């Protein structure tokens, strides 16, 4: 019999960030949405690959460079096959790479909604006195840790703050206080 209930939350962001681009077709700054399709261009031995984005208003495209003038023999065959078949996992990995997108475009619209998959690891008997949550992030998210805990546990953020002040809520590894506005990052 364990007094500890251990649960794992696997957290995946729901909506890919959208670069804000000055659209030269419909005019003005518009969010561009990931099409989840790649374009691969082979010019002799040189390969370029882009992830295609479309203006949400006029469908105009923007190409997010993934490979730029790479020598074919330097590219893993599996990677090339994934690009050519619009592999969803590969598209997702690049579509959620906010840092890389921001380095090209500057302004990016981010979304904090996440999907949380919950799995009981052990414990949960009648005498449970403590809950241990293991958070696994598929990728970095802009969601704040206190907001995630409040929504998923169904309690207010002020209550979380009280727990933290009384040391009833402890975060490991130790870092900034969870109620101080720290975005949830990988463990």
- CB nearer to Zn ion: pick between 37 and 72: 37
* Cα–Cα distance measured from residue 69 to residue 86, given in angstroms and rounded to the nearest whole number: 19
- CB nearer to Zn ion: pick between 15 and 57: 57
- CB nearer to Zn ion: pick between 57 and 112: 57
DSSP state letters, 41-69 = EEETTEEEEEEEEEETTT--EEEEEEEEE
Q: How far is CA 82 from the centre of its chain?
A: 20
- CB nearer to Zn ion: pick between 29 and 127: 29
DSSP state letters, 11-43 = EEESS--EEEEE-TTT-SEEEEEEEEEEEEEEE
Least distance to Zn ion, CB of residue 31, Å: 10
Least distance to Zn ion, CB of residue 24, Å: 8
* Cα–Cα distance measured from residue 115 to residue 151, given in angstroms and rounded to the nearest whole number: 12
Which residues of this chain interact with Zn ion, rule CB under 5 A?
A: 23, 25-26, 30, 55, 57-58, 60
Least distance to Zn ion, CB of residue 118, Å: 40
Neighbours of 36 (CB within 10 A): 17
Least distance to Zn ion, CB of residue 99, Å: 25
Which residues are CB-neighbours of 139 under 8 A, at least 6 positions away?
A: 12, 13, 93, 96, 186
- CB nearer to Zn ion: pick between 26 and 155: 26
Least distance to Zn ion, CB of residue 106, Å: 17
């Amino acid at each position: 019999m364990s007094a500890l209930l251990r649960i794992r939350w696997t957290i995946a962001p729901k909506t890919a960030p959208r670069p804000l681009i000055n659209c030269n077709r419909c005019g003005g700054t518009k969010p561009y949405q990931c099409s989840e399709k790649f374009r691969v261009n082979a010019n002799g031995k040189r390969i370029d690959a882009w992830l295609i984005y479309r203006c949400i208003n006029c469908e105009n495209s923007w190409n997010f460079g993934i490979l730029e003038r790479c020598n074919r023999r330097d590219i893993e065959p599996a990677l090339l096959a994934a690009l050519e078949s619009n592999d969803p996992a590969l598209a997702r990995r690049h579509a959620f790479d906010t840092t890389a997108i921001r380095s090209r475009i500057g302004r990016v619209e981010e979304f904090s909604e996440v999907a949380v998959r919950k799995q009981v690891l052990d414990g949960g008997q009648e005498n449970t006195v403590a809950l241990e949550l293991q958070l696994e992030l598929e990728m970095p998210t802009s969601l704040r840790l206190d907001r995630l805990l409040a929504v998923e546990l169904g309690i207010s953020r002020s209550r979380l703050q009280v727990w933290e002040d009384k040391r009833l809520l402890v975060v490991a590894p130790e870092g900034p206080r969870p109620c101080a506005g720290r975005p949830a990052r990988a463990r």
